[in-house]
Amino acid sequence: MQTTKSVKPKAFIDGSRLITEACVLAGADVFVGYPITPANSLYLYATKRFPTMLAAPDEITTLQWMTGFATAGRVPVTATSFPGYALMVESINMAFMQELPMVIILVQRLGPATGTATCGAQGDLSVVNGTLSGGFTLPTFCISNLDDCWSLSAKAVETAVKLRTPVVLLTSKEMVMTLLSYDWSNLPEIKPTKMTEFKGEGQYFPYKAGDNLIPDFLPVTQTKHQVRVTASTHDTKGILQNVLPEAIENTKRLQKKQDKHLSEFTFFDLDEQAGAEALILSYDITAQAAREAAVKIRETGKKVSVLIAKTLLPIPMEYIEIANRYKRVVVAEENLTGQLRQMLFGVAGRKGVTGVNAIAKMISPNEIVEEVLRNEY
Amino acid sequence: MNIKPFLTEAELPFCKGCGHSSVAQNTEKALQKMNLDPLDVILVTDIGCHGIIDKNFLSHTVHGLHGRAVALAGGVAAGVNNSDKKIITFIGDGGATIGMQHLIGAAHMGFNITVVIHNNMLYGMTGGQPSEFTPCGFKTPTLPEGSAKAGYDICEIIASAGASYVQRVAGVGDYSDSLVNAFSAKGFSLVEVMEICPSYGVKSNPGMKLSKVIEDSGLAVKVFVDGRDKEYVTPIDSSPKSLISDKFNVDVKYSHNLSKPVSIMMSGSAGEGVQSAAEFLAKAAMTAGLHATKKGSYPVTVGVGFSASEVIISPEPILYTGSPVPDVLIITSVDGLNYAKAAAARMKGGLLLVDESLDVPQTGAKVVKFPFRERVGARNSAFYSIFWYLNNNNPFPIEALKDIFMNNKISEKVKIETMLQF
Ligand SMILES: Cc1ncc(C[n+]2csc(CCOP(=O)(O)OP(=O)(O)O)c2C)c(N)n1
Ligand code: SF4
């Protein structure tokens, strides 16, 4: 009989519980929800945990209400899946232009269209990458395990608030619905983040930013300064201006502020083995299979490194730098054509880079092992 | 009294004679009559000609998307949560057409906002196309033969949706008192201002008079609802309970006999305890110091059809939570059999435990048949099957499962002894 190694009690929980708690601790205080499988567990936990929870009549309203809450200084969160996200797209563009913080948790399921609501997937990265018109990116994080449900959810809220932008937190059915034994006795502390408010005496320019490229915030409940919020191309006063240079500079700033702060919200796990010539690159729900595949390969005496991407957009250049150190890169992701692989290496690809892809089933560690060992390096 | 301006001194941005100008002026007048401070007013504007007015207003302004201003304003109102603040939404008949649900929804919720619909009976900004508000016979540049159908009576719709105050006015002269009434109402109020767009409306309908168009359309110029006073207050729970609690912890009391992970798939019918039994099994394994995962599969109609659950128990931390080929498959009903046939076929070894009443599916696993359903009835067959499995395979002590069972309210209804007759 084996003796138990650790007698520490573990909790039996799903990722939704950690995501919800972490968001609230990080400063989110409103949840607006519209039901959709597999995001419903987040909706349910939100009813118990968020100071304010509203049931919206549709996903466009969801995003509009969230934006309205944000103009008053509150920090909203929602959870949806592709069909709902598709309806939100124009409104996400709006909130992005208005520079209002919020987190959209996108729980992926099998598409296209309604697809299979109860089947997991990892197919929406390209959709998210294409959300904003004009080549702008929406800061996007992706959860790879229960630790991330906690820490990365908090970072999503923090990034949204600090950068004053909608942020997408990608996850999938498997992560939010499966129950797992988890030692949560040492969860890192999460502190709330608040928007920097304008403290000056003179005129308030709602879209004037200093060196950090992030304008100071004031809520529409202000009684000293006029606050203007707009989603149309605007100057620093928040007044609509077709294509005046000042207004276009302001629009360009929306990307620059992300690029400037990207290093503060670049998160990934890199497990490099000295002498390895192959790299497994993965994210989201396939990350755990990738981690397990590495264990299996190493057990055979072969060497392999693993990169788990957690910040997906804007793409940190580190990923390319790391990948370029390896002759062989296997990108494992649960979608048909390799969305992250194409984003990193282009449609033309790169010599030595291949994918492990699947839909309607989880990619297993063995499939990744086989692909890594296929062209013995 | 120190009356403050609500409009800048700049010229209004509309074509000459556009009804939108009169809405802006009447709005200022009404707010001044109410002696409000501009910074206690939040103007939320839609996309359309009327929406470009925000730059002329000295209040706070929020400018969003086409058709969504009412939903956005609802969010602002819920966020501000203070009925001393006036939240006013300007929207066109076009915006009200594409965003109709938001109007009905906001009235239904009772958000503290006043919606002013600038109904010029067409889409001004995009060149004079008809909206759903275009009256029968009314011509527009893209509909020179005139509309064949009547326009919406938005006031009737919104009145029945539960608004506190609803009025239609002809947008000429001084109608600021009507706006005062709407702005003063508690909850959701709406004023539909009938207007003419000189650039497209008048051109397409030469010699038209606004009063005649209104009369011909049969739309009543009147107050539809007054004094309903239904007001939305945003719920704020000041001390919601943490989702992290020791009560989810499972204490380790036993030891186990596993040297590698075991995946157990249970497949039965909805209502026969499959999901609970699987969860019991996983938790019991945890009390024996094992790591565990559990996930369910069922059709969207959770109350009928198959119900399956995959449990992994492992001496080492579990990374990948999939188990395409189970080590143990327990089938307790016909639905379960149909669902699990494919998994059974994939098994090259392991154990297939199947209810005696069922056909044995094709499999490479060792097959054991047992009369679970007959012994304890369909409802308890799943629970019984895991007791049976532990008793015969002993991955960890059956006592662990007894504990979990006894600590659950199911033990009040089902005697543990029935679960232990092997
Ligand atoms: C989603 C979307 N569809 C279409 C448009 C194009 N569009 C801009 S304004 C407008 C209509 C404006 O008409 P109305 O709301 O009646 O306002 P008006 O211009 O007459 O004041 C349309 C269709 C848009 N901006 N967004
Ligand atoms: S086009 Fe029509 S609605 Fe637009 S400003 Fe001119 S008159 Fe007014």
Report DSSP letters for B353-369, one per residue.
EEETTSPPPS-SSEEEE
Average pLDDT, chain B: 97
Residues A228, B60: C-beta atoms closer than 8 Å: yes
User: Do residues B46 and B177 share a domain?
Assistant: yes
Q: Return the ligand number nearest the Cα of B119.
A: 1
Fold of A10-183: Rossmann fold (3.40.50)
User: What is the CA(B117)–ligand 1 centre distance, in A?
Assistant: 13
Q: Return the ligand number nearest the Cα of A87.
A: 1
Closest-CA residue in chain A for B68? Answer: A64
The three-class DSSP label of residue A67 is helix
For residue B310, the model assigns a pLDDT of: 97
Q: Residue A2: pLDDT above 90?
A: no
Q: How confident is the model at residue B44 (pLDDT cuts 50, 70, 90)?
A: very high
User: Do residues B251 and B328 share a domain?
Assistant: yes
The CATH code of the domain that includes B306 is 3.40.920.10
Q: How confident is the model at residue A7 (pLDDT cuts 50, 70, 90)?
A: low
Q: Which residues of B touch A177 (CB under 8 A)?
A: 295-296
CA–chain centroid gap for A132, Å, is: 15
Whether B323 maps to a domain, the answer reads yes
User: Do residues B196 and B144 share a domain?
Assistant: yes
User: Do residues B158 and B268 share a domain?
Assistant: no
Closest-CA residue in chain B for A226? Answer: B60
Q: What is the pLDDT of residues B358-414, one digit of tens each?
A: 999 999 999 999 999 999 999 999 999 999 999 999 999 999 999 999 999 999 999
Whether B254 maps to a domain, the answer reads yes
Residues B252, A4: C-beta atoms closer than 8 Å: yes
Q: Return the ligand number nearest the Cα of B96.
A: 1
Closest-CA residue in chain B for A45? Answer: B243
Average pLDDT over residues A13-17: 98
User: Do residues B94 and B167 share a domain?
Assistant: yes
Name B68's Cβ contacts closer than 8 Å, sequence gap at least 6. Answer: A60, A64, A91, A94, B46, B95, B99, B102
* B320: nearest CB among A8, A21, A289: A289
The protein residue whose alpha carbon is closest to atom 1 in ligand 2 is B124
Kindly give the number of the ligand 2 atom that is closest to the alpha carbon of B14: 5
Give yes or no for residue B49 CB within 6 A of ligand 1: yes
Q: Return the ligand number nearest the Cα of B17.
A: 2
User: Do residues B209 and B278 share a domain?
Assistant: no
Whether B401 maps to a domain, the answer reads yes
The three-class DSSP label of residue A259 is helix
Is B287 exposed, middle or buried (CB count within 10 Å of its CB: 0-12, 13-18, 19+)?
Answer: buried
Q: Which of B42, B46, B60, B307 to mutate to test the interface with A (most CBs of A within 10 A)?
A: B60
Interface of A with B in 275-314 (CB under 8 A): 288-289, 291-292, 295
> Is this structure's pTM higher than 0.95?
yes
Last residue of a domain, one of B191, B225, B259: B225
CA angle A316/A322/A328 to nearest 5° reads: 130
Spatial distance between the Cα atoms of A56 and A32, rounded to a whole number of angstroms: 6
Q: How confident is the model at residue B422 (pLDDT cuts 50, 70, 90)?
A: confident
Give yes or no for residue B142 CB within 6 A of ligand 1: no
User: Do residues B26 and B170 share a domain?
Assistant: yes
Whether B251 maps to a domain, the answer reads yes
Q: What is the nearest CA distance from A345 to chain B, expressed in angstroms?
A: 26
Name A214's Cβ contacts closer than 8 Å, sequence gap at least 6. Answer: A162, A163, A164, A196, A257, A261
Interface of A with B in 37-76 (CB under 8 A): 37, 45, 48-54, 57-58, 60-61, 64-74
User: Do residues B196 and B250 share a domain?
Assistant: no
Whether B239 maps to a domain, the answer reads no
Please give the single-letter amino acid code of residue A122. Q
Residues A61, B102: C-beta atoms closer than 8 Å: yes
Q: How confident is the model at residue B1 (pLDDT cuts 50, 70, 90)?
A: low
Spatial distance between the Cα atoms of B63 and B192, rounded to a whole number of angstroms: 20
User: Do residues B202 and B257 share a domain?
Assistant: no
A35 touches B: beta carbon within 8 Å: no
Question: Which residue range is the domain that position B298 belongs to?
Answer: 246-419
User: Do residues B54 and B195 share a domain?
Assistant: yes
Closest-CA residue in chain B for A42? Answer: B243
Signed CA dihedral, B13, B18, B22, B24: sign only: negative
Kindly give the number of the ligand 1 atom that is closest to the alpha carbon of B91: 15
The CATH code of the domain that includes B161 is 3.40.50.970
Q: How confident is the model at residue A161 (pLDDT cuts 50, 70, 90)?
A: very high
User: What is the CA(B24)–ligand 2 centre distance, in A?
Assistant: 14
Average pLDDT over residues A127-139: 98
Show the beta-strand stretches assigned E in B279-360: 291-297, 306-314, 328-331, 351-355
B10 touches A: beta carbon within 8 Å: no
Q: Residue A12: pLDDT above 60?
A: yes
B83 touches A: beta carbon within 8 Å: no
The protein residue whose alpha carbon is closest to atom 2 in ligand 1 is B66
Q: What is the pLDDT of residues A93-113, one digit of tens each?
A: 999 999 999 999 999 999 999
User: Do residues B207 and B262 share a domain?
Assistant: no
CA angle B282/B288/B294 to nearest 5° reads: 15
What total number of domains does chain B contain?
2
Average pLDDT over residues A311-327: 97
Closest-CA residue in chain B for A25? Answer: B242
User: Do residues B79 and B125 share a domain?
Assistant: yes
- How is residue B341 written in tokens? 């046939």
For residue B276, the model assigns a pLDDT of: 97
ipTM score over 0.85, yes or no: yes
Q: Residue A9: pLDDT above 80?
A: no
Q: What is the pLDDT of residues B184-231, one digit of tens each?
A: 999 999 999 999 999 999 999 999 899 999 999 999 999 999 999 899
Of A218, A192, A193, nearest to A204 (Cα)?
A: A218
B366-402 as b/e, with b when 16 or more CB fall inside 10 Å? Answer: eeeebebbebbebebbbbbbbbbbbeeeebbbbebbb
Of A297, A261, A41, nearest to A155 (Cα)?
A: A261
Q: What is the nearest CA distance from B174 to chain A, expressed in angstroms?
A: 28
Spatial distance between the Cα atoms of B107 and A261, rounded to a whole number of angstroms: 42
Q: Residue A1: pLDDT above 50?
A: no
Q: What is the pLDDT of residues B81-138, one digit of tens each?
A: 999 999 999 999 999 999 999 999 999 999 999 999 999 999 999 999 999 999 999 9
Whether B234 maps to a domain, the answer reads no
CATH architecture of the domain with residue range A268-372: 3-Layer(aba) Sandwich (3.40)
Q: Among B11, B12, B15, B203, which is best to mutate for testing ligand 2, by the most ligand atoms less than 8 A from CB?
A: B15
| pLDDT-above-70 percentage for chain A | 97
Domain-wise residue ranges, chain A: 10-183, 268-372
Q: Fold identical between A10-183 and A268-372?
A: yes
The protein residue whose alpha carbon is closest to atom 2 in ligand 2 is B197
